[in-house]
Amino acid sequence: MALDGLKKEVCDAVDGMRESLIAVSAEIHANPELSFQEVKASRLLAKKLTQAGLPVTTHAFGLETALASDFGPSNVPCVAIVAEYDALPGIGHACGHNIIGTAALGAALALASLRDRLPGRIRLLGTPAEEQGGGKEIMARHGAFDGVDCAMMVHPATEDLPTYPILARAAVAVTYRGRASHASAEPESGINALDAMVAAYQAIAAWRQHMPPGHRIHGIITDGGQAPNVVPERAAGAFAIRAPNRGGLKLLRNRLDACFRAGALAAGCEVVIDWDDVEYLELITNWPLARAYQANAEALGRRFKSLEDLPANRAASTDMGNVSHRVPSIHPMIAAVGPGVAFHSVEFAKDAASETAIRAMIDGAKAMAMTALDYLSDDRLRADVKNGFAGSTGSGS
């Protein structure tokens, strides 16, 4: 069957499972689970894949809540379709990962419906802990993307974009240890760990105004003591740094370490600085693949904006960036929430279950399925994707 016919068939397949996909997205949305704890969501996706007769590996690639499903012929090009399903503390699916996970499921099931007419191999990967922990990097270290020729996912947003400005990111926890004493009767006997934390925080705040464009730092104080009449013997904070690339992260790490140690020196405390093992890397967009996705999404009635239309300071981070350093990858954005709704907000979480979000989930599944068919069927596109990956800097179009 011609490519256009296969595309119509996968789109019809997505429409045929529309109500089932809506139910999956709604269930994940109603039961938000934090990073590495996505038991219900991963089981639900695994159940749907199993019901469709597809092989499923749970506890996949080193993570309890990861899953994988490989299908299609062997010794042919392989496309990875990436699902996310973790939520945020306190505000649930305020980044719309219920949409991401369900769109990936829909795309995979639609492609599987082609059976022996599928012109390549598909690997659906359920990847936990995007918000915190870097599940994709952990899975990649265990071989999740071995044998994969390209990877894709779609992320909800306020507009349709072929990609998004994605910065490298590193996270760190800092803990100060002092000595407790009565804050009124014997303050001179205490060593105030909170003073160390506050001094470091103020040093960071002063540093912020001198950061070059594209470099960022943000953080919170997670422990400041237990009672006001006790000199805090422990204080702690959690921080993240972002930069255009890994080299920029290294510069920020060194300066942030200095701020933490300065706080300890000023207050006379001990300090423990614990950097996460996983760094999130900047996204390298594979533009031939991104353009193919955009054409398919536009065929569904989507209207794309240019990256130049975004505010100059708009940027985020994702562990899909790590994937993009291993295989050609795309991370397009799909309009799923109302205009002006901010990522990681209560409003975003509410809109992630809206009719607009449902349409985005359905269109995202169709667009990814069609793009996978383009890649698997078109020798020229595969060559362009390969060449683009070999020479990409992540900044061109």
Say what the pLDDT of residue 313 is. Answer: 83
* pLDDT, tens digit, 9 for 90 and up, residues 43-55: 999 999 999 999 9
> CATH: 3.30.70.360, 3.30.565.10, 3.30.530.20, 3.10.129.10. Which one for 168-275?
3.30.70.360
* pLDDT, tens digit, 9 for 90 and up, residues 136-168: 999 999 999 999 999 999 999 999 999 999 999
Quick one: average pLDDT of 78-105? 98
Per-residue confidence at 1, pLDDT binned at 50, 70, 90? low
Alpha carbon distance 259, 334 (integer Å): 39
Say what the pLDDT of residue 397 is. Answer: 34
Per-residue confidence at 392, pLDDT binned at 50, 70, 90? confident
Q: What value does the mean pLDDT of the chain take?
A: 96
For residue 327, give both structure tokens: 């295989």
For the chain, the structural domain boundaries read: 3-166+282-391, 168-275
* pLDDT, tens digit, 9 for 90 and up, residues 302-340: 999 998 888 878 899 999 999 999 999 999 999 999 999
Per-residue confidence at 228, pLDDT binned at 50, 70, 90? very high
Residues in a beta bridge with 126: 67, 83
Alpha carbon distance 364, 68 (integer Å): 20
Quick one: average pLDDT of 10-24? 98
Length of the chain: 397
For residue 385, give both structure tokens: 């994707």
pLDDT at 179 over 70: yes
Alpha carbon distance 49, 68 (integer Å): 10
116 or 395, greater pLDDT: 116
What CATH number is given for 3-166+282-391 in this structure? 3.40.630.10
Say what the pLDDT of residue 48 is. Answer: 98
* pLDDT, tens digit, 9 for 90 and up, residues 187-209: 999 999 999 999 999 999 999 99
pLDDT at 211 over 70: yes
pLDDT at 74 over 80: yes
* Percent of the chain that is helix, strand, coil (3-state, to 5): 45, 20, 35
* pLDDT, tens digit, 9 for 90 and up, residues 112-143: 999 999 999 999 999 999 999 999 999 999 99
State the sign of the Cα–Cα–Cα–Cα dihedral 97, 102, 103, 108. Answer: positive
* pLDDT, tens digit, 9 for 90 and up, residues 230-276: 999 999 999 999 999 999 999 999 999 999 999 999 999 999 999 99
Cα-based angle 352, 358, 9 (whole degrees, multiple of 5): 145
φ and ψ at residue 257, rounded to 5 degrees: -55, -40
Going by C-beta distance under 8 Å and a sequence separation of 6 or more, which residues neighbour residue 317? 166, 167, 168, 169, 242, 280
φ and ψ at residue 112, rounded to 5 degrees: -65, -30
